[in-house]
């Protein structure tokens, strides 16, 4: 089987997974305890207004008869598959869902980028360092740190760090405030992400995102460190490494060309799985750190019964998950050409 035939098959197999995921989403959101009409009208109990709202969101027809659930399901799936995401019912009612997602997405992407970067730059080097020095103080310290970081729940760590930042601001009388960056006695407030070409604004944006990024990347950091250490230990004792040493290959070349490259193979699913952690973890972290990204938007949509918005966000998350799974297999073939497509 050729590479492109394999990926074409993966794309075809992803279709039923997508359909099943969105069908389950519709059942949970539409048949759950939340009444979208009550969420929209609030305390207004005017029957005529309630009927008008129910008609506008496709629950009843023009004659006031309830639209069957299967027709609502067909309309829901058709709109998603054609990327006609519609308008929000409750959150910013009447706003285009695509515009809402496009407005909030840069903040979540910015958070996700630094979360992945923190995990990669800390977890993998520590794991490789510990694996090259087994049963030493460095190995024990790195292993213990990885277990601690892995064991701490995101929501708990987020609350601890946010409380520490608030306390540090109070203890210093406002001299230290994590939400601002002081340059030559000039206080720069939180910049929009569009202004990141300015070095000062970029510094502020990085400074503000590091605490939530550390929280979001902590679990991945611990995983990468532990798996990286184990992979290096297994690779160091492999036959091809011993053969290279017997041939007189310099240790530096053995480490970089043979050990590190082969140790990366088991790390591929760990690194790509970070996307799943970011998707789920950002919902909690954004809520705690008041980051108005996609995670916060999903919480608002889910709790307020906004079916088009919540369903569209889940649709985007599922699509990203499927794409990352396919990308993971592609990375496998690049790192290790011995892996086939059968």
Residue 214's pLDDT is 84
Residue 194's pLDDT is 63
Most confident of 19-23, 30-34, 88-92, 163-167: 19-23
Report the range of poorest mean pLDDT among 55-59, 174-178, 308-312.
174-178
pLDDT at 177 over 70: no
Report the range of poorest mean pLDDT among 126-130, 172-176, 277-281, 332-336.
172-176
Helix axes 267-288, 97-132, angle to 10 degrees: 130
Could you tell me which residue, 125 or 178, shows the higher pLDDT?
125
Round to whole Å and give the CA distance between 130 and 118. 18
The 10s digit of each residue's pLDDT in 112-151 is 888 888 888 888 888 888 888 888 888 888 888 777 877 7
Domains present along the chain, CATH in parentheses: 3-81 (no CATH), 103-335 (1.10.3720.10)
Residue 182's pLDDT is 47
The whole-chain average pLDDT of the chain stands at: 78
Q: Is 319 exposed, middle or buried (0-12, 13-18, 19+ CB in 10 A)?
A: middle
256 DSSP assignment: I
Residue 195's pLDDT is 66
Q: What percent of the chain has pLDDT over 70?
A: 82
pLDDT at 42 over 80: no
Output the CA angle 69-28-304, nearest 5 degrees. 100
Give the residue-averaged pLDDT of 194-210: 74
Round to whole Å and give the CA distance between 155 and 215. 8
Strands 181-183, 186-188: pairing kind = antiparallel
Q: What percent of the chain has pLDDT over 90?
A: 0
Residue 318's pLDDT is 86
| Residue pair 139/130 in contact by the 8 Å Cβ criterion | yes
Helix axes 307-335, 294-303, angle to 10 degrees: 140
Output the CA angle 104-105-108, nearest 5 degrees. 100
Site of tokens 């300015």: 198
Residue 204's pLDDT is 75
Residue 184's pLDDT is 44
Round to whole Å and give the CA distance between 67 and 58. 7
Task: Specify the pTM.
Answer: 0.76
Exposure string for 34-48, b = 16+ CB within 10 A, e = fewer: bebbebbbeeeeeee
pLDDT at 210 over 80: yes
67 DSSP assignment: P
């Amino acid at each position: 089987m050729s590479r492109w035939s394999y990926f074409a098959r993966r794309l075809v197999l992803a279709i039923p997974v997508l359909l099943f995921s969105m069908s389950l989403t519709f059942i949970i959101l539409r048949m759950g305890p939340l009444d979208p009409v009550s969420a929209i009208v609030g305390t207004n109990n005017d029957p005529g207004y309630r009927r008008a709202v129910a008609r506008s969101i496709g629950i009843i027809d023009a004659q006031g008869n309830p639209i069957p659930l299967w027709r609502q399901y067909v309309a829901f799936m058709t709109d998603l598959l054609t990327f006609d995401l519609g308008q929000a019912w409750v959150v910013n009612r009447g706003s285009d869902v695509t515009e809402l997602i496009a407005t909030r997405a840069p903040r979540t992407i910015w958070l996700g980028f630094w979360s992945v970067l923190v995990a990669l730059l800390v977890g993998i080097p520590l794991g490789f360092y510990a694996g090259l020095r087994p049963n030493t103080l460095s190995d024990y310290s790195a292993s213990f740190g990885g277990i601690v970081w892995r064991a701490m729940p995101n929501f708990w760590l987020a609350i601890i760090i946010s409380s520490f930042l608030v306390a540090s601001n109070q203890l210093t009388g406002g001299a230290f405030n994590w939400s601002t960056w002081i340059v030559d006695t000039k206080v720069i407030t939180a910049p929009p992400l569009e202004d990141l070409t300015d070095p000062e604004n970029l510094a502020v944006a990085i400074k503000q995102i590091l605490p939530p990024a550390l929280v979001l990347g902590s679990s991945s950091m611990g995983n990468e460190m532990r798996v990286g250490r184990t992979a290096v230990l297994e690779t160091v004792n492999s036959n091809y490494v011993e053969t290279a040493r017997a041939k007189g290959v310099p240790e530096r070349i053995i480490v970089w060309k043979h050990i590190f490259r082969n140790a990366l193979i088991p790390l591929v699913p760990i690194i790509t799985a970070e996307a799943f952690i970011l998707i789920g973890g950002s919902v909690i972290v954004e809520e705690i750190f008041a980051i108005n990204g996609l995670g916060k938007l999903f919480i608002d949509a889910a709790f307020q019964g906004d079916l088009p918005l919540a369903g569209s966000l889940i649709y985007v998350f599922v699509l990203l998950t499927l794409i990352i799974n396919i990308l993971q297999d592609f990375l496998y073939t690049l790192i290790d050409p011995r892996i086939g497509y059968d």
